């Protein structure tokens, strides 16, 4: 009997410890599909849209977002693994299908359950923006030297550019380039977004970035492209643009 007990003891310890290991949390994935639109229509680079009394098209649209996370119903939050993402619609939106699908930020191993908010920064955190491309490894979104202003010690958080035919003449004579950067132009987004994460499943959420809302104010007045065709150093105008850009994001499904 003693021998049996001696045999059972290690077995029971083994059993208990294995029970502990088998406790596995359940996870799913979340795809955040960011779609650049103009008045709700996905933007294909070079495609024309109505603007004031004329037409407009975009040739570059790029947005850096950081600290992306979704918040659970009980208020705790889940932070996305990569702390910075680049929504490069210039590279992505080369045809209608790609433009409609948008740029996806995927969140993996998200604990199952209900989430009710999507939070992210348009722009980089101060710490991220204090670094330069050389500080990041090859392949990192911030390793790219192209969107970095060395003399302003900042990344360009948002790039929007294109051309406009303001008099509907058929010629797109008016170019516009809006570059927004610097810590004061970072905007914290807090969007209601009902997301249910199920075990082993991928849940999608679609977020529109509507550029008509950037170029028109709340009263429906178009931005004066002819007077302000370039923004890249004027802090007050960049901050105004940052506000316009922030209210252009919305969760649509």
Partner 1 sequence: MKFAKTFLILTIVSTLVWSPGCKKDPKPDGPPKTEGDLIDIPYNPEPASIPSQDEYPAMAIPESNPLTKDGIALGRMLFFDPILSSDSTMSCSSCHLPEHSFTDGLAISPGVTGELGRRSSMSLVNMGYQDNALFWDGRSQTLETQALLPVEDPIELHEDWPNVVEKFKNHPDYPARFRKAFGILDRSEITKELAAKAIAQFERTLVVGKGSRFYKVFVQQNGFPSDEELRGYLMFFDASNGALPDAQCFHCHNRPFFTNNQYLNNGLDEAQTLEDFVDKGRGAVTGNNFDNGRFKTPTLWNIALTAPYMHDGRFQTLEEVLDHYASGGHYAINLDPLITDIHLNEDQKADLLAFLHTLTDTTFTKNPEFQNPFE
Q: Pick between residue 39 and residue 135 the one whose CB is nearest to partner 1.
A: 135
CB 195 within 8 A of CB 93: no
Q: How far is the CB of 92 from partner 1 (least distance, A)?
A: 13
What's the rounded Cα separation, in Å, for the pair 128 and 135? 10
Report which secondary-structure segment, H or E, holds 196: strand 187-197
Tell me which residues in 186-225 interact with partner 1 (CB under 8 A): none
Three-class DSSP category at 137 = coil
Whichever of 59 and 240 has its CB closer to partner 1, that residue is 59
Question: Which of 49, 64, 89, 176: binder of partner 1 (CB under 8 A)?
Answer: 176
| Nearest partner of 99 among 166, 146, 38, judged by Cα | 38
Q: What is the dihedral of CA 205, 208, 209, 212, to 10 degrees?
A: -170
Q: With binding defined as CB under 8 A, does residue 229 bind partner 1?
A: yes
By CB under 8 A, tell whether 177 contacts partner 1: yes
Out of 11, 151, 218, 219, the residue judged to bind partner 1 by CB under 8 A: 151
Q: Which of residues 65-124 bind partner 1 (CB under 8 A)?
A: 94
The two tokens of residue 98 are: 């790609």
Stretch that binds partner 1, among 7-15, 103-111, 131-139, 215-223 (CB under 8 A): 131-139
Task: Verify binding: residue 162, partner 1, rule CB under 8 A.
Answer: yes
- Interaction between residue 233 and partner 1 (CB under 8 A): yes
- Per CB under 8 A, contacts with partner 1 among 41-70 are 45-46, 59
227 touches partner 1 (CB under 8 A): no
In 3-state terms, what secondary structure has residue 182?
coil
Among 6, 19, 24, 138, binds partner 1 (CB under 8 A): 138
CA-to-CA separations, 197 to 122, 217, 249, in angstroms, rounded: 25, 36, 22
| Residues near partner 1, by CB under 8 A | 45-46, 59, 94, 132-139, 143-146, 148-151, 161-163, 171-173, 175-177, 229-230, 232-233
């Amino acid at each position: 009997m003693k021998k049996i007990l001696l045999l059972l003891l290690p077995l029971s310890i083994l059993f208990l410890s294995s029970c502990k290991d088998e406790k596995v949390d359940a996870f799913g994935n979340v795809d955040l599909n960011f779609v650049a639109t103009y008045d709700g229509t996905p933007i294909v680079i070079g495609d024309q849209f109505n603007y004031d009394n004329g037409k407009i098209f975009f040739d570059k649209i790029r947005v850096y977002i950081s600290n992306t996370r979704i918040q659970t119903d009980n208020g705790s939050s889940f932070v996305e693994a990569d702390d910075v993402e680049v929504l490069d619609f210039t590279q992505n939106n080369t045809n209608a299908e790609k433009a409609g699908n948008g740029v996806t930020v995927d969140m993996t191993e998200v604990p199952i359950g209900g989430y009710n908010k999507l939070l992210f920064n348009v722009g980089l955190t101060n710490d991220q923006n204090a670094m330069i491309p050389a500080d990041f490894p090859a392949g990192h979104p911030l390793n790219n030297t192209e969107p970095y202003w060395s003399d302003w010690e900042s990344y360009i958080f948002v790039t929007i550019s294109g051309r406009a035919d303001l008099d509907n003449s058929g010629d797109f004579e008016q170019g516009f380039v809006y570059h927004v950067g610097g810590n004061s132009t970072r905007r914290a987004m807090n969007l209601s977004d009902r997301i249910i994460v199920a075990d082993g499943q991928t849940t999608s959420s679609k977020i529109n970035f509507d550029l008509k809302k950037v170029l028109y104010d709340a009263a429906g007045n178009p931005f004066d492209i002819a007077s302000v065709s370039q923004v890249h150093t004027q802090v007050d105008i960049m901050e105004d643009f940052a506000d316009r850009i922030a209210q252009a994001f919305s969760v649509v499904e």
